[in-house]
Amino acid sequence: MKHRDGRIEVICGSMFSGKTEELIRRVRRAQIARQRVQVFKPSLDNRSPENHVKSHTGQHFEALPVENSGRILELVSEDVTVVAVDEAQFFDDGLISVANELADRGIRVIIAGLDMDFRGEPFGPMPILMACAEDVTKLHAICMVCGDEASRSQRIIDGRPANYDDPVIMIGADEVYEARCRRHHQVPGRPGRS
């Protein structure tokens, strides 16, 4: 059964804030409601088995890996009522039009991803998706320095914060990232900041 009105829901936050866990919770609830669900993830994210999205707490759900956002439209089944996309920050900007097209067809679109990169700057298509969404949920982790609420992902290279000019995309988990609050997030070499 199609929804009367499609919609876009964005789940965002830092690493370790529970974005994938929340995406999985929502798609499982949709399945309980007998809705047809398809989940997609970028093929570039190889941290979990190829055909699953997996949370840091071990929850997992079947997903189709795709190399670009256009493939999502090609692979969406006719009877699907819910489309979920994990790690959306790794997709091209075409994901914005894909999400809007699916919502215009009456499909509920659930998107999860990092809102900021390790520099603390907007990441990929996420800022525009957040602006287009009917609902945005921003989750927080716990700062690994002080224990306060964390909104940023700190990349650590050889025990030190990564430099501003390091590559933006580096796939990893707790071996190279930790959650940090604004006060303890460090990006050496960031322009305009001391």
Q: Hey, which residues are catalytic here?
A: 87
Radius of gyration of the chain (CA): 17
Q: Are 187 and 162 in contact (CB under 8 A)?
A: yes
Q: Which of 56, 73, 75 is nearest to 64 (CA)?
A: 75
The burial of 169, by beta-carbon neighbours within 10 Å (0-12 exposed, 13-18 middle, 19 or more buried), is given as exposed
The span from the CA of 188 to the CA of 143, in Å, is 19
What DSSP assignment string belongs to 120-168?
A: SSB-TTHHHHHHH-SEEEEE-EE-TTTSSEE-EEEEEETTEEPPTTS-S
Sign of CA dihedral 185, 189, 192, 193: positive
- Residue corresponding to tokens 């919609």: 7
- For residue 157, the tally of other CB atoms under 10 A from its CB is 11
